Amino acid sequence: MSGRTLLRLGGGLLSLAAFLVAWKLLVLLTDTPEYILPAPEVVIDRGVRAIGSGVLWEHVGATVLEIVLGFGLGAATAIAVGVALGKSVVIERVLSPYLVAAQAVPILALAPLLDIWFGGGLFARVLVCALIVFFPIAIATMVGIRSADPLLREMLLSLGATPGQVTTRLEIPSALPVIFGGLRVGVTLSVIGAVVAEWVSASTGLGVLINIADQGLFDTPLMFVALAALAIIGLAFYSLVVMVERRLVHPA
């Protein structure tokens, strides 16, 4: 492991430790009861027990599946639509109002409708998740496609490049940094999307676990365990996107 990676890891652990200490201090100083804000060691202990009993994995697995499928579907369609929006001002003018309007409607209101229309199974939840990630990625793609250097475009055309070649050799590679910006945002949104979808219809998942812990069991530490799991999942997926970005996007 290189010295730099060790330093980064050490820094991360240090900031995590600082966060936990601050949390513990907050609980101590405000004398908050465990059922409102549990101390970190209580949450960790509860988490260890939940992992040991296998309960946590079942819910984690369900949510991760929704995230992977939802983000995949949402990102793929968003990039395709974004390329179309970027290349054609006409398409942008026609589609934009609907895209913006759909984005403005709270997903929490749309989700139950989608659940009914699509039969309330995994697909409906994947769709909710895909919808949440769609807009930022589509817009990022559109902006990125349009950011292609016109001087390079002229150069390519002078070499006899076809419009398709201009798209694949110039516009998409130019757009990649911006697209990945959208993907970073999108992947963290997909975690929210999965939970929102579960709050509409699901029997397993971290969103369901939050409900069960909070409303059924009055087990606030367990609810915090679910929240921590969601945060870790979000971080993991984000890091994955960043890793892919580092391999695909060469610093220009």
Partner 1 sequence: MSGVRRSFGTGETRVVALEALDLEVAAGSFTAIIGPNGCGKSTLLRLAAGLLTPDAGTVLIGQERDAAPPRAGDGRVGLAFQQPRLVPWLTTVENVALPLALAGASAAERDRRAETALQRVGIQRALRLRPAELSGGMAQRAGLARALIGDPPLLLLDEPFSALDALTREAFDTELQRLWLGQPRTVVLVTHSVSEAVRLADRILVMTARPGAVARIVEVDLPRPRPVLSGDPAAARVDRAVREALAEVHPPELSPWTDGEDAEEVPA
Partner 2 sequence: MSPRRFVPALLVLVLVVVLAACQVDSTFQDVSSPSAQLRPVKLLLSYKPDVQFAAFYVAQQEGYFADAGLEVTIEHRDGPDVIRLVADGQAEFGVADATDVMISRTSGIPIRYVSTVYARFPVALIGAPEMVPAEPAELAGLRIGTPGRYGSSWAALLAILDAGGLTADDVTIREYPAFNQVEGLLNGDVDLITGFRVNEPLQLAAQGFEATMLTVDEVAPLPGPGVVVGDDLLGSDRAMVAAFAHAVEQAQAAIAGDIDLGLQDAVNEVPTIAEDRDTARAVLTATAELWKDASGAVSAAIDADVWASGYQTMVRLGLIDGSVPVTDMYEDVGG
Which parts of this chain interact with partner 2 (CB under 8 A)? 33-36, 111-112, 115-116, 120, 198-203, 208, 211-212, 214-220
Residue 5 backbone phi and psi in degrees, to 5: -65, -40
Q: Give the list of residues 6+ apart from residue 32 with CB closer than 8 angstroms, or none.
A: 26
Q: Among residues 190 and 211, whose Cβ is nearest to partner 2?
A: 211
Residue 164 touching partner 1 (CB under 8 A):
no
CB of 208 to partner 2, least distance (A): 7
Give the closest residue to 34 by CA, choosing from 230, 223, 207, 227. Answer: 223
Q: Which amino acid is at 12?
A: G
Secondary element (H or E) of residue 76: helix 55-87
Please state the length of the chain. 252
Name which of partner 2, partner 1, none residue 218 binds, using a CB cut-off of 5 to 8 Å depending on partner kind: partner 2
Alpha carbon distance 182, 174 (integer Å): 14
Instruction: Give the residue carrying structure tokens 């936990």.
Output: 20
**Which of the listed partners (partner 1, partner 2, none) does 170 bind, with a CB threshold of 5 to 8 Å by partner kind?**
partner 1
Q: What is the DSSP letter of 214?
A: I
Torsion of CA 37, 40, 42, 46, to 10 degrees: 100
Report whether 67 contacts 194 (CB < 8 A): yes
Q: Which range, of 109-117, 125-133, 168-176, 199-207, touches partner 1 by CB under 8 A?
A: 168-176
Q: Can residue 245 be called a binding residue for partner 1 (CB under 8 A)?
A: no
Classify residue 171 by its DSSP letter: I
Q: How far is the CB of 171 from partner 2 (least distance, A)?
A: 37
Residue 154 binds which entry of partner 2, partner 1, none, with Cβ cut-offs from 5 to 8 Å by kind?
partner 1
Q: Which is nearer to partner 1, 3 or 160 (CB)?
A: 160
Instruction: Please choose which of partner 2, partner 1, none residue 190 contacts, taking the beta carbon within 5 to 8 angstroms, the exact cut-off set by kind.
Output: none
| Residue 169 interacts with, from partner 2, partner 1, none (CB under 5-8 Å by kind) | partner 1
**CB of residue 212 vs partner 2: minimum separation in angstroms?**
5
Q: Which of residues 131-160 bind partner 1 (CB under 8 A)?
A: 151-152, 154-160
At residue 121, the 3 state secondary structure works out as: coil
Which positions touch partner 1 (CB under 8 A)?
151-152, 154-161, 165, 169-170, 173, 250, 252
